[in-house]
Amino acid sequence: MPRTVTIDPVTRIEGHAKITIHLDDAGQVADARFHVTEFRGFEKFCEGRTFWEMPGITARICGICPVSHLMASAKAGDAILGVRIPPTAEKLRRLMNWAQIVQSHALSFFHLSGPDLLLGMESDPGQRNLMGLIARHPDIARNGIRLRHFGQEVIRILGGRSVHPAWTVPGGVREPLSPENRARIQEMLPEALAIVEQALELYQRLLPQFSEEVTVYGDFPSLFLGLVTPAGGLEHYDGLLRVMDGDGRILEEGLPPARYREIIGEAVEPWSYLKFPFYRPRAQEKGGRYQEGMYRVGPLARLNICDFAGTPRADEYLQAFRQLAPQGKPVTGSFHYHYARLIEILFSLEKIQETLADPEITDSHVRSKADVNQLVGVGVSEAPRGTLFHEYHVNEDGVLQRVNLIIATGQNNLAMNQTIAQIARHYVDGPSLRQGILNRLEHGIRLFDPCLSCSTHALGQMPLQVQLMGPDGTLLDELTRA
């Protein structure tokens, strides 16, 4: 008799969602789905506002990574103005974006996934949370807080506040960086660099304990998409779109980001508010099935598609990272998102250090001024979770007629669904469940560090309800974690 198991809500992610597991007549897992159960509607209610307002409005999409939306929105505004922003303004935007990556990745690794990695996937759920981590590993928990503080403090120094800074604007940024504030950031760097090096060593020591999880937590071939520099290096702010397949073949070498619609399509399903972006050429090759165009974005994808990182220590760890896959092949295990995240923190800190040493960084010319010169603007940057697209259509007065946002979490939607199905098929056998299995499924989602509501967040314990439903909707069993 077919049955459905529901996990609602999924905890220690940013936003609200549930998981359902569908069993076949034999009690084996037939399918699993990740449902996003909330609706934001920014694309629609921004219509009628001016593009000048969009950085401030869209930054409110997310309380954890508002900088990502600031960057993409301001870049779309740059395109509408038809200007090239001053070189110092671009460097300052990059500084804030790297700081954003540091604080967001630190939150994901240390505090959202750390309890699973350090206390055990099936440890006591009453202890498997941030407070339990602080009790058992106070130094590691404190390091996570210090590293996140670094990123937040850099954002605050540049933008005046750490959350929703109204600093990045079409044409550049509002304020330059003073020599005194440059020195303050430089003083904080040694501690941050030491912490991430310790975290990388910790991850390498922990990895052998998770050999089983590595093979069943989202390990499958897929496409990978992200930005690279014109020379093929790791990129988070600008550059060109590159797409790689599961065998390491480059399908798109360097597409200008404004032409993203040539390769990215969007599908919807009635059981989730999250869109399903896909790689259009591959779906067309496979008879129009959008699922065949599944690709992954974010730190794992970025490290797979780039030829090199571009900083000394990050390049050393990138070489070690690539040993996880056969020669010339991409790393396909989603469990290694954790590893990639730490390497990106190290890269970001090295780039911040390098950029602050540039004498031009304190130049006062940080904004280009113009009016509407283009009626369509596309802004693309790399958010911590992956590539972020903002596309604005305006009239001659700069009033928005149409808005399209493609966020990283949506682009990982197909891969997240496949990941929880793979985990469920490995650990679920019949209609009975253990608490630990529920956490394994949740961890499969946490690997992608999804940002669903982009505004509400919960660390640690939240109510968890699992229901086993018969085909007629009858409640057969129920498991609740208060």
Average pLDDT, integer, range 125-153: 92
- The more confident residue out of 341 and 445 is 341
Cα atoms in the Cβ-side hemisphere of radius 13 Å centred on 276: 21
Listing DSSP states for 376-407 in one string gives: EEEEEEEETTEEEEEEEEE-TT-BEEEEEEE-
* pLDDT for res 473: 52
Q: What is the pLDDT of residues 256-273, one digit of tens each?
A: 999 999 999 988 887 777
pLDDT at site 359: 97
pLDDT for the residue numbered 453: 47
Whole-angstrom distance, CA of residue 190 vs CA of residue 411? 35
Is 405 annotated among the ligand-binding residues? yes
N-terminal to C-terminal alpha carbon distance within the chain: 30
Enumerate the domain spans of the chain. 3-37+427-448+450-481, 42-415
| 17-23 vs 29-36, strand pairing mode | antiparallel
**Confidence at 65, pLDDT banded by 50, 70, 90:** confident
Q: Please check if 360 is assigned to a binding site.
A: no
Quick check: 262 and 255 in contact, CB under 8 A? yes
Q: CA triplet 224, 212, 203: central angle to 5 degrees?
A: 70
Q: DSSP label at 127?
A: T
Residue position matching structure tokens 């990283």: 408
Query: Is 464's pLDDT higher than 50?
Result: no
Whole-number mean pLDDT of the chain? Answer: 88
**DSSP code per residue over 25-50:** TTS-EEEEEEEE-----HHHHTTTSB
Q: Report the relative pairing of strands 223-228 and 295-296 from DSSP bridges.
A: parallel
Residues 6+ apart with CB under 8 A from 269: 276
454 marked as part of a ligand binding site: yes
Contacts of 245 (CB under 8 A, 6+ apart): 221, 223, 251
Secondary structure letter of residue 367 according to DSSP: B
Give the list of residues 6+ apart from residue 461 with CB closer than 8 angstroms, or none. 11, 125, 126, 129, 481
pLDDT of residue 24: 78
Q: Is the pLDDT of residue 165 over 90?
A: no
Confidence grade of residue 449 (pLDDT, cut at 50, 70, 90): confident
pLDDT in tens, 297-335: 999 999 999 999 999 999 999 999 999 999 889 999 999
Whole-prediction pTM: 0.90
Confidence of residue 35 (pLDDT cuts 50, 70, 90): confident
H helix or E strand, kind and range, residue 149: helix 138-159
Distance, CA of 8 to CA of 466 (rounded, Å)? 7
| Residues 109/144, Cβ–Cβ less than 8 Å | yes
Q: Is the CATH number of domain 42-415 1.10.645.10?
A: yes
- Does residue 465 carry a pLDDT above 80? no
**What are the backbone angles phi and psi of residue 36, rounded to the nearest 5°?**
-95, 120
- What is the residue-wise DSSP string for 199-238? HHHHHHHHGGGGHHHHHHSSB---EEEEEE-TTSBB-SSS
294 Cβ contact partners less than 8 Å away, ≥ 6 residues apart = 222, 223, 278, 279, 414, 415, 418
The C-alpha atoms of residue 339 and residue 304 are separated, in whole angstroms, by: 12
pLDDT mean over 18-36? 77
Q: Give the number of other CB atoms < 10 A from CB of residue 411.
A: 30
User: Is 46 annotated to bind ligand?
Assistant: no
Q: Is 178 helix (H, G, I), strand (E, B) or coil?
A: coil
* Among 175, 167, 159, 176, CA closest to 55: 167
Q: Is the pLDDT of residue 457 over 50?
A: no
Sign of the Cα torsion 253, 102, 409, 259 reads: negative
Amino acid at site 462: M
Nearest to 244 by CA among 257, 232, 259: 232
Mean pLDDT lowest among 44-48, 100-104, 184-188, 398-402: 44-48
Q: What SS3 state is found at 333?
A: strand
DSSP string, 279-323: EHHHHHHTTT-GGGG-EE-SHHHHHHH-SB-SSHHHHHHHHHHHT
Nearest to 360 by CA among 71, 94, 75, 156: 94
- The confidence band for 475, taking pLDDT boundaries of 50, 70 and 90, is low
The answer to whether the annotation marks 241 as part of a ligand binding site is no
CA distance 440 to 443: 5
